[in-house]
């Protein structure tokens, strides 16, 4: 009988202890939750600036977090960029992306490729499109392919048609034939 009281008392103390731990964990979990406002598949978004279309974004899956004003795009992201006159400038593909609804800035992640209408192609793993200054920016390693050159480096900034670009830390070497006269 004494052993039975000890077991019941031990079980009761353990139950109370575990209940308190669970309550703390649940409270922490609720505090850290981000509530989904909308979810969609095969989604399309148009980003406007000064009443002109600046980007058409499509993705296999979209999650919108109302509390953070963030849209998460995944399952393949495709973006068509347009200049201030509404003319198409370039096309972007990535594995996923995030759009800040307050600024309309976009961050693309994973296998990012930008192909400009002028024939220049940019490869990187992480890229930001800053809607305010109308530039694409990457602090990661990049490869830039033009009609005649392949350039590598770390850090990149350009307009969306890739005609005015800067590689912050260029890497590599070139071989060029020098003709003596």
The predicted-structure confidence for 84-122, as pLDDT tens digits, reads as follows 999 999 999 999 999 999 999 999 999 999 999 999 999
**Domain shared by 152 and 78, yes or no:** yes
Instruction: Confirm whether pTM is higher than 0.95.
Output: no
For residue 179, being part of any structural domain is answered with no
Is residue 28's pLDDT more than 90?
no
Segment 39-56 shows an average pLDDT of: 93
For residue 177, being part of any structural domain is answered with no
**Domain shared by 92 and 6, yes or no:** no
Q: Which of 181, 179, 127 is nearest to 158 (CA)?
A: 127
* CA–CA distance, 141 with 156 (Å, rounded to integer): 8
């Amino acid at each position: 009988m004494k052993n039975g009281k000890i077991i019941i008392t031990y079980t009761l103390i353990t139950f109370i202890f575990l209940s308190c731990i669970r309550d703390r964990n649940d409270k922490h979990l609720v505090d850290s939750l981000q509530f989904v406002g909308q979810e969609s598949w095969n989604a399309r978004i148009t980003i406007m600036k000064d009443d002109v279309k600046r980007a058409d974004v499509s993705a296999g899956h979209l999650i919108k977090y109302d509390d953070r004003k963030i849209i998460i795009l995944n399952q393949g992201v495709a973006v068509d960029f347009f200049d201030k006159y509404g003319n198409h400038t370039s096309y972007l593909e990535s594995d996923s992306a995030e759009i800040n609804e307050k600024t309309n800035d976009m961050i693309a992640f994973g296998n990012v490729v930008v192909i400009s209408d002028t024939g220049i192609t940019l490869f990187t793993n992480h890229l930001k499109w800053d809607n305010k200054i109308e530039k694409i920016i990457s602090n990661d390693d990049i490869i830039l392919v033009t009609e005649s050159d392949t350039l590598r480096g770390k850090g990149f900034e350009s307009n969306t048609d890739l005609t005015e670009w800067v590689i912050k830390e260029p890497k590599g070497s070139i071989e060029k034939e020098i003709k003596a006269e």
